[in-house]
Amino acid sequence: MHLKLNEAETLVRSVFEENNVLPTTALSVARALVQSEAAGQSGHGLRRVPVYLKQVRTEKVDGAARPSTSRPRPAVLSIDAGRGFAYPALDCAVAELPAIAHEQGIAFAAIGRSHHAGVMALTVERFAEQGLIALMFANAPASMAPWGGNKPFYGTNPIAFAVPVAGAEPLVIDLALSKVARGKVMEATQKGVSIPDDWAFDVDGNPTTDAFAAIKGTMAPAGGAKGAALALMVEVLSAGLAGANFSYQASSLLDEHGPPPELGHTIIAIDPDAAHSGGTAHRMADLAEEMAKQEGVRLPGRRGRSLRARALQHGIEIEDDVLKAIEALR
């Protein structure tokens, strides 16, 4: 089915509201999932709707939770997601953290007792649009072994970054520390297709093209030992700082079984002109222009924004199996 973005958002929001999710939360979740879909990140998009709602029904995620905030230190915003969806808590960070960063020069938000952080590029670019540099770290349920091990211990533990560029769209980086995001493997299981043999390992530690075997096994770290080491760093900077579950303690985001995952996210927001006389955004424009002079170079973040701009104008296609799965939850 072909839908305009507002139509897709209304569809998703209404299904969540029919399942007793707070209207404000339903809107926040719907916007995040539809924007993820529009950005070409279908593994974090509408394919998440059925499992999200199954988790609401089993109380693995609290659809009635309201995030709460406190300011324990001048540059620190503490957010309790209340075992609810991450998106309302992320909205709180976007609403409250910029003023603190402009006041202090640098600020960070620690979000605890949270859920799936989604496409983090969509969060960090909201800070860049307010003139701030943003870094975001999030842990996820264990799916990747420490280097040399063979049992899930770290999550795919993504990192995202955005910086404003004068007169142009921000530069945005969003990457998982596994070879690919686990959502791509989940999508392959739903479609019943194989995966490349360098994405994941089965339970015996062997490379596999079977998506179902990959879900039961471990994800391959990006860059081998380096990716695994960075996953540890993100574990500390997200769950460690937020007092959240470490990846190995968190229940799966891909099914409705078990207790709430209670994951952690951290956002660091920096006033780019806090340490000197200013003009950082203009310098970033010079940097981006110099990068783009090289043939074949694509500035990070531009593809996703281009896809979303196109989707805003022309809408998105929702695959039949996804639509049927969503409608079945009414």
Q: Which residues contact 169 (CB under 8 A, 6 or more apart)?
A: 301, 302, 305
Task: Tell me whether residue 200 is in a domain.
Answer: no
Which residue, among 63, 21, 36, has the nearest Cα to 8 in the 3D structure? 36
Beta strands in the chain (DSSP E): 2-3, 68-73, 76-80, 106-114, 133-138, 159-165, 168-175, 200-201, 218-219, 263-270, 316-317
Task: Tell me whether residue 11 is in a domain.
Answer: yes
- For residues 161 and 131, give the distance between their C-alpha atoms in angstroms, rounded to a whole number: 13
Task: Tell me whether residue 15 is in a domain.
Answer: yes
Q: What pLDDT sits at residue 330?
A: 84
How many separate domains does the chain show? 1
What is the token pair recorded at 1? 């089915």
Q: What pLDDT sits at residue 82?
A: 98
DSSP secondary structure of 170-200 = EEEEEE-SBSS-HHHHHHHHHHT----TTSE
One-letter amino acid for residue 48 of the chain:
R
Q: Helix/strand/coil (H, E, C) string of 241-286?
A: HHCCCCHHHCCCCCCCCCCCCCEEEEEEEECCCCCCCCCHHHHHHH
Q: How far is CA 226 from the centre of its chain?
A: 21
- For residues 280 and 186, give the distance between their C-alpha atoms in angstroms, rounded to a whole number: 40
Global confidence as pTM: 0.93
CA 103, 105, 107: angle at the middle one, nearest 5? 85
Task: Tell me whether residue 290 is in a domain.
Answer: no
Map tokens 């072994």 to a residue: 145
Task: Tell me whether residue 108 is in a domain.
Answer: yes
Q: What is the pLDDT along the chain (330 residues), one digit of tens a residue?
A: 899 999 999 999 999 999 999 999 999 999 999 999 999 999 899 999 999 999 999 999 999 999 999 999 999 999 999 999 999 999 999 999 999 999 999 999 999 999 999 999 999 999 999 999 999 999 999 999 998 888 899 999 999 999 999 999 999 999 999 988 888 898 899 889 999 999 999 988 889 999 999 999 999 999 989 999 999 999 999 999 999 999 999 999 999 999 999 999 999 999 999 998 789 999 999 999 999 999 999 999 999 999 999 999 999 999 999 999 999 988
Task: Tell me whether residue 132 is in a domain.
Answer: yes
CATH classification of the domain holding 226: 3.30.1370.60
Q: What pLDDT sits at residue 120?
A: 98
- For residues 164 and 127, give the distance between their C-alpha atoms in angstroms, rounded to a whole number: 9
State the residue range of the domain holding 309. Answer: 2-178+221-277+302-327
Quote the crossing angle between the two packed helices 23-38 and 5-18, to the nearest 10°: 140
What is the token pair recorded at 239? 């769950």
Task: Tell me whether residue 189 is in a domain.
Answer: no
Task: Tell me whether residue 212 is in a domain.
Answer: no
